[in-house]
Structure 1
Amino acid sequence: MFLMRDVYIGYDGTVRNCYGNQLVQFSYGCGAHTGEYNKSLLEKEECGASVGSLAACAISEAAYGALDQPISALENSPLINLKKVLECGVRKQSGNETASLFLSQKLKRFNSGFEYGAINVKNHLEKLLLKDVVSLVTIFYSPQTGIRPLSPWICYFRINNEAVKKQLKVQSIINALKMNCTDSVKLKKLKLSLPKLQISSKGDPENSDTNGDFYIAVQIAQIVEDIDNSLNILQDRVVPFLLDTVIKGSSNVKQVDIVWKDGPKTSKSYKESSGELYLRVFMSESCDRRRFWRKLIDDCIQIMDMIDWERSYPDDVQDVILAQGIDAARNYFLCMLKTAIEDTGKTIIPEH
């Protein structure tokens, strides 16, 4: 607000800063409104008019007005929300990075279409690790008598009923494990070397009642002279690596929350709800911030029609710049600032 006092209208009608003559805006006023708002705030845009001070006073007035708002223990105060919007510089890039995905209006023609759409998008994106569906890990000694050279140690992962709830198939889990074991880029990044593995589905090795659970067997598919060494490799390298394998969802996504967004208030006679469901996607620690939005789009190719991409965006101005450009970031910032100011109960002229 202090810096805005030096913003004025230049001799050519542009908005500039008096120190360094930096260009702030090509023309004062948004020019997108009709009717009485079509005229500029100043009837005559005279050279030297201190439009920055007017805007600073308008925003600070809204901030002071937020002090009168009641404080709720369930959500942040309007003043805190306004503070977060204004503190959107590069220094605020730490913490959880998120993106907002809005559902397509095509789902509106189905009963509970938005609810089912939100659940489907969440299930498609949310990361599920092997350890989330494994209830028991056991290693058995089983000498091999066949022709193929295999290690005598076999590791069994018991998959519980949670996998059935997630609509997972045995073969899809095995394919994900095999793909992860052959990912040379990931192994090089982790500085980890794995032996050649044989991964397959097996029955219960102890022939007991498993309540519908099934097993995945992992065995080193090469002869290891030292039997104890092969057991150590299986315990210390293979098992921890496989348990952290993503078997469903996106490795770029840490968590997906279904959120409700209030819309503009309507009359009581209006039957439909004044709001909508949308999804807030949290970036995983292993994902590169600069590529998060592009990777998220790639992960959503199979459900592309369920998402309204014109309204979806990253939740940080710097991320919007990287993904969509400086002009989209400016529009996003103004939209967030307008929403934060309206939450304080104040309104500001668009020119400000």
Structure 2
Amino acid sequence: MSIPLRGAQRKSFSNGKTVRLAEEFLAGEENALARAAAESFLNPSQPDHFSYNPWVLYGPTGVGKSLLAQGLLHQLQARDWSTLCIAGVDWAREYADAVETKSVGEMREKYQAYDYLLIEDLHEMAEKKPAQQELVLLIDALLDAGSRLWVTLLAPPTETRGFLPALASRLAEGLATPLRPPGPLVRKELLQRLATASKIKLSGPALATLVESTSGAPLELKQTLLAAAAAAHAAGETLSPAFLAQHLSAARAARRPSLRNITAKVSGRFQLKSSELKSATRRQAVVRARGVAMYIARQLTDKTLEEVGKHYGGRDHTTVLHACRRTEALLHEDPELQKLVEEIAIQLS
């Protein structure tokens, strides 16, 4: 069902307003798909671009979803497109207020007027069924009018727990692209820029050590660089490779996650409850998630096999060892699972 638009005309995007990606966002090979998707989404009339609508940009916290989205939004505004950015939870709250004040019609007219609508962190609307139902109607209206919608999520819409099937389906009719943590080349460029901006002297060998020893999102890279510089200053040392190696090793030891945190993060990404990973169930989805949790626990903590097994339902050390080996084998067979485990490990560490 779609909401009729009185006298609405399909919006034209063939007026020569070419939108470029924000210069501040660096997209390496690992994010080439997201870059191409953004360019095509914002310039659908270009003959060399593919067309789709809506666009879903998903990835773990801190990889730059908001940076990319906001940068694109600013460029659209500079070219006189009517745009709006709103958080999913704020949209749901506004809808609840509209229902209470009997002004849903006015709210619909407001949102249907935009050329581009960005809804950030739409996963925060999970379980808010009435708001999701209204959003499905709005999506239909926007697409009928030729407006363009894009949203940011932690995971693909079909894998986001708490979404109505109708909402997940509408979003899946467009294109969902992942945004991944920066690769080595982008990390090097980001660290060089951060060092210059913060007036931190960073030699080539020291930069190489940082690039090889870090794998996090841009914000994490900045925090790592600033913390290392502060530690070197306090110790009266320079940012040499030897000092950085020692500092980063100590920092990693201090950041080791707890088994509880690992369980919560893994269960969340697999759309399960933490209690399920500790249960006796042999359901395949739970077994895989439990194996991933045990594998990460062995990689990121100093817990023994016995300690890990005790946390996950009192399992013995041979069960934990088998689960870790099985998970490691799956990582070599399944690139998507490997990327998921890497993202979870980055977030935890």
Shorter-chain TM band = under 0.3
Q: Which structure's residues are more often helix, by fraction?
A: 2
Higher strand share goes to which structure? Answer: 1
Report the TM-score when normalising by structure 2. 0.22
Name the larger-Rg structure. 1
The structure showing larger relative contact order (alpha-carbon pairs under 8 Å, at least 6 residues apart) is: 1
Report the TM-score when normalising by structure 1.
0.22
